[in-house]
Structure 1
Amino acid sequence: MVSEDQQCAGWLGVFYNGTWGSVYRSPMEDITVSMICRQLGCGDSGSLNASICLREGSRPQWVDLIQCWKTDTSVWQCPSDPWVYSSCFPKEEAYISCAGRRPKSCPTAAPCTDREKLRLRGGGSKCAGWVEVWHSGSWGTACNDSWSLAEAEVVCQQLGCGQALEAVRAAAFGPGNGSIWLDEVRCRGRESSLWDCAAEPWGQSDCKHEEDAGVRCSGE
């Protein structure tokens, strides 16, 4: 499943002939969708979603007309058209939502540490910009209330970006978007992660994006 913020929902991808490609969306019966969800550990049922906005870019289209039987235990056993390279319009790609869908705990497919759940945007390098944190399946920002050099120091160290040069306030790098996940962050400056600092409960903020916090670190 390919999705920015969901596990068990996304564009169906299959690895074949050395690369990832997509699957044609029609016709795909309920038995087939359920088989795919089960194989991915995502529950016993799902649905083919036609209302999702189109996926950007192009990629190989590997297979069409997958039709699983109840006796199949893997999608690789299911009858289908021949597996061949073809290209098609993004609107023909299969997007499946399984019953077991949930927000991604990590922004990437691989297991992550706190470092991968933090990034800086809008500053021209990985070591400067407004602060974005990954929480509950999406990227969001931090409010500049109580934001000081101590918080900036923790962010820079967590990202491997050296020392904090500046704690930036009032969306000086530009306003972010999405949820404002953090507010009233209070660090001592020696924590190994922003997650170890005191703050308001996640997502509880009275701020607007004009108050997004940022940092400028010494590293490149």
Structure 2
Amino acid sequence: EGRLEVLYQGRWGTVCDDGFDFHAATVACRQLGYTAAITWTHSATYGQGEGPIWLDNVRCGGSEGSLAECAHNGWGISDCHHGEDAGVVCSGQRLPGNSPQATTTGHLGEVMRLRAGTHPGEGRVEVLRHGEWGTVCDKQWDLAAASVVCRQLGYG
């Protein structure tokens, strides 16, 4: 549970509570690797964030794979202030065999995930682009690239 933040263009920012609802919380929690949302919060319940407010008027149906797939005003287009930061409370149980997926990042709004690993934090790197998941080619893949992916997926 906590304030919801997303990584976009290498910077962490918050999500405004305008339009944010249980469907959006469900998508966010699933993207973080949890089975479900318990509730969502508004008015900076978990404190005010800093930096950009990346998403405003997020409208999800509930079945999307990530917040990037939900309708919103556009990255960084917001009339909110940090007193309107959204938060989520997710179920305490992680999805079995499913590592948490990164929040959106990159100039194209890519979303990354790990698939087919035997343990959390292991697996094939996949990227969502134009609504389709694809694998990452290993040509010139090195420890530095792996470290970036691990950080983006929340593995320090």
Query: Under a length normalisation based on structure 2, what TM-score does the superposition of the two structures give?
Result: 0.51
1:82 to 2:69 alignment: no
Residue in 1 that maps onto 2:29: 37
Unaligned runs of 5+ in 1: 1-8, 103-220
Distance 1:83 1:58 in 2: 16
State how 1:167-186 maps to structure 2 within 5 Å.
Answer: none
- The CA deviation string for residues 50-94 of structure 1, in whole angstroms up to 9 with x for no partner, is 472533x63111110111124422222111111126684322111
> 1:29 deviation in Å?
2.1
Answering whether residue 54 of structure 2 is matched by residue 54 of structure 1, we say no
Q: Contact 2:2–2:46 at 8 Å: present in 1 too? A: no
Higher relative contact order (CA 8 A, sep 6+): 2
Cα distance in 2 for residues equivalent to 1:21 and 1:49: 16
Alpha-carbon distance in structure 2 between the residues aligned to 1:68 and 1:14: 16
Structure label with greater radius of gyration: 1
Q: Distance in 1 between matches of 2:20 and 2:78?
A: 18
Rounded to whole Å, the distance in 2 between the matches of 1:10 and 1:92 is: 14
> How many residue pairs end up in the alignment?
93
TM-score relative to the length of structure 1: 0.37
Rate the CA distance shift 1:27–1:101 in 2: closer, same or farther, 3 A. Answer: farther
Q: Take 1:96 and 1:70, find their aligned partners in 2: how far apart are those partners?
A: 14
**Cα RMSD over matched residues?**
2.6
Structure 1 pair 53–41 and aligned structure 2 pair: CA distance change class (3 A): closer
Equivalents in 2 of 1:14, 1:20: separation in Å?
Answer: 6
Q: Does 1:95 align with 2:77?
A: no
Unpaired stretches in structure 2, ≥5 consecutive residues? 95-156
Residue number in structure 1 paired with 2:143: none
Which has more strand, going by share of residues? Answer: 1
CA distance in 2, matches of 1:88, 1:29: 16
